[in-house]
């Protein structure tokens, strides 16, 4: 149970947040190289229009992430372009409607955020910015579910996110892309950004693309060294790595917890041997070999150990579901997803069986 609690919670957190911006090699992020987290940093917004016009770019979603306070609780507000955002994230509306480009004071709320705020369709809320002395009153237009950390966020039109972030309309936090790898490469996108950086003084018109009516066309000077183009998964992985939350460290911590709890398995095996030492001595006197006795005891104990392992795993899942439902499994205002993987279940059984087997075969049958 202890091993399952540790492994499921930590690996669920890791898997959920590494896939926060999108999974797969076709999802790419244009981000600030100096940003230590996916929630900070700024890149020129007009680059979205330029990149979107490239052949092989299937979707281009400029986004602004702003930490905010709503009803005394911390949330992340994300300014988006709804049509492009929906090409990268599958959202299912459980109530109300999705945002439109022309919405001024509307928002859609993730199902987890809606539960914490206790809001319904049409309710109005005052949203306070953390990074700037600004606020805005927004009305709930819809409630969505994505089965991802987005369920803890508030989505608004792009310009609302820029206002709450405290920057002008020439910047966004990042630009997410879905690309066709057979047509375009990351280096080609970086070449286009390099070209824009070198020719910025000659740009005066808004970008000519399908984003020109909604994406800001304000040309701003920037250094190409400050802008990076990376796979979204790798970007999140590097952010996790900066804070020491690598998969290896999580697995090591889980194994350490299991070894500590595994001491009870070894103690239980020794206790069983002591309790049955009388029967063992009688069988030994009658000519039974040590190997035969150990195999017999192992066959009888393994079903019990498997049942105990299953019960511990189920108890761990139940406990984590209760903790998650109470809102205690949150990091950076996002609920860590509960990811029940087959590998954890198999690993749990294998290690339990191995510990019991080693304890029995190393036991004294004199």
SS3 content of the chain, % helix, strand, coil (to 5): 45, 20, 30
Q: Is the pLDDT of residue 180 over 80?
A: yes
- The pTM assigned to this predicted structure is 0.71
Interval 314-327: pLDDT, tens = 888 888 888 776 66
- From the centroid of its chain, how far is CA 92? 18
Angle at the Cα of 238 (from 129 to 37), degrees rounded to 5?
10
Interval 134-143: pLDDT, tens = 999 999 999 9
Q: What is the pLDDT of residue 249?
A: 64
- Containing 321, the helix (H) or strand (E) segment is helix 290-325
Q: List the single range of 96-100, 169-173, 234-238, 284-288 with lowest mean pLDDT.
A: 234-238
Q: What is the pLDDT of residue 326?
A: 65
- Most confident residue range from 80-94, 276-290, 320-334: 80-94
Tell me the average pLDDT of the chain: 79
Tell me the three state secondary structure of residue 135: strand
Q: Which residues contact 84 (CB under 8 A, 6 or more apart)?
A: 59, 60, 61, 62, 211
Q: How confident is the model at residue 213 (pLDDT cuts 50, 70, 90)?
A: very low
Cα gap 293→107, rounded to integer Å: 69
Q: Are 39 and 239 in contact (CB under 8 A)?
A: no
Q: What is the pLDDT of residue 364?
A: 62
* Tally of CB atoms within 10 A around 6: 20
- From the centroid of its chain, how far is CA 85? 18
Q: What is the pLDDT of residue 336?
A: 63
Q: Which residues contact 254 (CB under 8 A, 6 or more apart)?
A: 3, 6, 7, 10, 11
Higher pLDDT, 32 or 285: 32
The share of the chain scoring above pLDDT 70, in percent, equals 80
Strand partners, 142: 96, 108
Q: List the single range of 52-66, 193-207, 333-347 with lowest mean pLDDT.
A: 193-207
* Tally of CB atoms within 10 A around 36: 12
Q: List the single range of 21-30, 266-275, 300-309, 335-344 with lowest mean pLDDT.
A: 335-344
Q: Of the candidates 194, 79, 96, which has an alpha carbon nearest to the alpha carbon of residue 145?
A: 96
Q: What is the pLDDT of residue 194?
A: 84
Q: Which residues contact 109 (CB under 8 A, 6 or more apart)?
A: 117, 119, 140, 142, 143, 144, 154, 155
Q: How confident is the model at residue 251 (pLDDT cuts 50, 70, 90)?
A: low
Q: Are 294 and 360 in contact (CB under 8 A)?
A: yes
């Amino acid at each position: 149970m202890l091993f399952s609690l540790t492994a499921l919670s930590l690996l669920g957190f890791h898997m959920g947040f590494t896939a926060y911006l999108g999974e797969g090699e076709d999802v790419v992020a244009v981000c600030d190289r100096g940003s230590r987290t996916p929630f900070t940093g700024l890149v020129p917004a007009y680059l979205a229009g330029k990149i979107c016009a490239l052949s092989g770019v299937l979707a281009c979603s400029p986004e602004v992430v702003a930490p905010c306070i709503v009803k005394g609780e911390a949330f992340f507000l994300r300014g988006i372009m709804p049509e492009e955002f929906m090409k990268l994230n599958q959202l299912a509306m459980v109530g109300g409607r999705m945002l439109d480009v022309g919405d001024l004071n509307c928002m859609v709320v993730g199902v987890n955020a809606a539960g914490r705020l206790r809001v319904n369709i049409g309710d109005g809320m005052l949203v306070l910015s953390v990074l700037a002395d600004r606020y805005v009153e927004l009305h709930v237009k819809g409630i969505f579910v994505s089965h991802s950390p987005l369920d803890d966020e508030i989505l608004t039109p792009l310009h609302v996110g820029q206002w709450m972030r405290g920057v002008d309309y020439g910047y966004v936090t990042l630009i997410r892309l879905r690309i066709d790898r057979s047509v375009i490469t990351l280096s080609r996108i970086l070449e286009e950004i390099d070209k824009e950086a070198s020719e910025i003084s000659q740009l005066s018109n808004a970008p000519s693309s399908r984003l020109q009516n909604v994406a800001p066309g304000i040309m701003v000077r920037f250094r190409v060294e400050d802008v990076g183009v990376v796979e979204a998964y790798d970007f999140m992985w590097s952010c996790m790595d900066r804070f020491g939350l690598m998969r290896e460290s999580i697995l090591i911590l889980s194994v350490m917890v299991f070894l500590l709890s595994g001491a009870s398995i070894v103690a239980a095996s020794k206790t069983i041997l002591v309790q049955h030492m009388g029967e063992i001595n009688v069988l030994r006197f009658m000519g039974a070999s040590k190997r035969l006795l150990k195999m017999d005891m192992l066959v009888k104990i393994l079903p019990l150990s498997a049942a105990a392992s299953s019960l511990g795993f189920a108890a761990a899942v139940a406990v984590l579901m209760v903790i998650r439902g109470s809102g205690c499994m949150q990091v950076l205002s996002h609920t860590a997803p509960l990811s029940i993987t087959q590998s954890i279940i198999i690993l749990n059984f294998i290690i339990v069986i191995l510990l019991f087997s080693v304890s029995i075969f190393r036991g004294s049958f004199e």
